[in-house]
Structure 1
């Protein structure tokens, strides 16, 4: 790349005013601020950042960063009952061993002539996850489940030519804001109420809000509040009745014991692969997936990479490469279905290792363990005076809403007291779901022992 009057250089100093002016002129704006005119005025920082002085030596920098990191309070040192989208599942050592190998760890966007192993590993991941989902086509992971959900509703809008998306009011507001941001130019989002007793989608409200303008009905199983959506088939049937696409956001750790969404009518399934062998990494170990049937109308709407297998000119030998690469922004750039940047391919390989290690039996045992431990936790919590272990009367999986409304304490106060005892309490729902009052979303995974749950119970008895 070169700019008039400047020679090619490994680094283009875009801070040079003449270079900036010419680039701005080329794209038709006058100032850098014009590029961000959609940002509300109240969010714009109007003074310089309060940055510390530069640290000049490597030794001093390392010591400074080490001191900062030592302030962290981690889930290794504390009991953790937080979930809400990022989970402390067990990570088998082989997952870290494989994903740290140089051919995978350093491979960014390798092509077939230089990266045969990575392409095959991702094909194997797609195949294994497809088997778990009972779906034919799975993409190379996107950034996280929120991006996958946002992409899924965009796919549905293109498929139907419609612009309204129905969403459950019980979903994470953070995820909704990401979906809204992706579709802000053309999509309209409408929330469907949940039933106060069950925590499940209100079929009556859903039917009232469905019309021939709805592109998709998106719901989750389990939902954000931990409940297993028992009416999945009815929801999908209603969506299809109005010509809408049924999209299900699923927790993959459930699929060893819970029916795959395609078998209760899902057209597109999305979710996060973080439970499949990924550390929480301060919220960074995420990777979103979308899956569909092997139908051209769906396949051609995937904006992200898909890998396939094909025989080569050598008998008995196979190659792995992109499927319908021309539909992506990698090939068409501005002409792609959507722009897709960096994908979480390394986490796809990691999930493939995890699924290959666990197998069907292992995933079934995982699901059973999660159900049993969460049920034990709810039973014991309900024995505490003025505490209700689960606010809803439906079946939950590994997360559940604990009701502290009758304790005379706020969730914030309870969590602060728990932290002093080395326990991370559940996610405070009082601001995101004010209609629930002082409730918290607790999570119990296979890493939590009976002793750990009992420690929580005893700590709450002391606090309350």
Structure 2
């Protein structure tokens, strides 16, 4: 292995100012140290042997290609058109998803198209580049809302996906941390799966920064009183943050139509494979108003005129307020993200078009009803 040659090893110890490697591990408690012998199998003699060995292990798995997965809840098995895979594997995208302006071989344009198309789908004008997941998008959005109105409590449905709830709780932080947000969970009606409006009313107050709910929710139910939920939140001066699966928006009203101020959701359903959980991504969308734009922690791509008459160019905007531009002074930490999936998302949305989203939405409803009847007949 690299740096295990005697001369290199000796030089590393010298630079680290230690005489023995054990000094590096002194901080690890003795009862946490492994003291046995590693039972590592002997090295395989060739790449062909390694490939055969790994294939034999992978054959033990049962994949979603052989058995349909109904798990959903953040990672859905939808068909991915071949063109999506073709686009994300093109070298101008797969090797240049980040870098200096000189590395842009169409990257900025496809990111711009991602934001534009998704904005049209959810009914908002301002869409940031994608984040790690649905949960991280929701967490950032709630923190955005708190910065906008200076409040420190958020209201969430108890019906939330447990994993997404944990992510949001992490973003709200511990009490000892700056920017900590208190969370109030609101009950749901067990007979319908929908939010309990009476409990929501009792949870609202002048300290509420935002009310968050999802449509459809974790149980797959549509919040038929979504407009009333938004009205109640606005009545106390809170922001309305709505989570949505964009693939539903061909047949379900966009959250912007029933009072959402900030819309978040998944991007995985837009042309990205499940990838054993690695295909997830999230987005944040708002109206094109300065109070929202100034609180985005994400990167944004915009279009502007150049010094050449009639020429337009793509570029990053509001870069300074991100953690990329200002590090710990940025609005929030976003770290690396899933910008390559934005290429697949933009490809999928352009391929589907408005009618395609209507068709896939109707197909999902028909298949879901059929599956429910089949299960109910057992």
Specify the SS of the correspondent of 1:85.
Answer: coil
Which of 150, 172, 191 is equivalent to 2:161? 172
Say if 1:206 and 1:312 are closer, same or farther in 2 by CA, change over 3 A.
same
Q: How far did residue 51 of structure 1 move?
A: 6.8
CA distance in 2, matches of 1:72, 1:316: 56
Specify the SS of the correspondent of 2:106.
Answer: helix
CA deviation map 1:92-136 (0-9, x unaligned): 111111111001111242232331510111001100000001100
Structure 1 regions of 5+ residues with no counterpart? 1-8, 20-30, 35-44, 385-464
Which of 37, 52, 66 is equivalent to 2:40? 52
Specify the SS of the correspondent of 1:79.
Answer: coil
CA distance in 2, matches of 1:255, 1:113: 36
Specify the SS of the correspondent of 1:123.
Answer: helix
CA distance in 2, matches of 1:94, 1:14: 51
Specify the SS of the correspondent of 2:32.
Answer: coil
CA distance in 2, matches of 1:273, 1:157: 24
Q: Which aligned pairs between 1:227-376 and structure 2 lie closer than 5 A?
A: 227-376=221-370
CA distance in 1, matches of 2:129, 2:120: 15
Q: Which aligned pairs between 1:182-261 and structure 2 lie closer than 5 A?
A: 182-185=171-174, 186-261=180-255
**TM-score, normalised via structure 1 length:** 0.72
Query: Are the aligned partners of 1:138 and 1:289 in contact in 2 as well (CA < 8 Å)?
Result: yes
Which of 44, 47, 65 is equivalent to 1:76? 65
Say if 1:244 and 1:54 are closer, same or farther in 2 by CA, change over 3 A.
farther
Specify the SS of the correspondent of 1:189.
Answer: strand
The residue aligned with 1:149 is 138
The residue aligned with 1:64 is 53
**TM-score, normalised via structure 2 length:** 0.88
Query: Are the aligned partners of 1:156 and 1:215 in contact in 2 as well (CA < 8 Å)?
Result: yes
Q: How many residue pairs end up in the alignment? A: 354
Specify the SS of the correspondent of 1:271.
Answer: strand
Q: How far did residue 47 of structure 1 move?
A: 4.4
Say if 1:378 and 1:183 are closer, same or farther in 2 by CA, change over 3 A.
same
Q: Which aligned pairs between 1:445-464 and structure 2 lie closer than 5 A?
A: none
Query: Are the aligned partners of 1:329 and 1:339 in contact in 2 as well (CA < 8 Å)?
Result: yes
Structure 2 regions of 5+ residues with no counterpart? 1-7, 19-25, 175-179
Which of 103, 110, 125 is equivalent to 1:121? 110
CA distance in 2, matches of 1:326, 1:198: 45
Say if 1:192 and 1:16 are closer, same or farther in 2 by CA, change over 3 A.
farther
Q: Which aligned pairs between 1:103-118 and structure 2 lie closer than 5 A?
A: 103-118=92-107
Q: How far did residue 17 of structure 1 move?
A: 4.5
Q: How far did residue 79 of structure 1 move?
A: 3.2
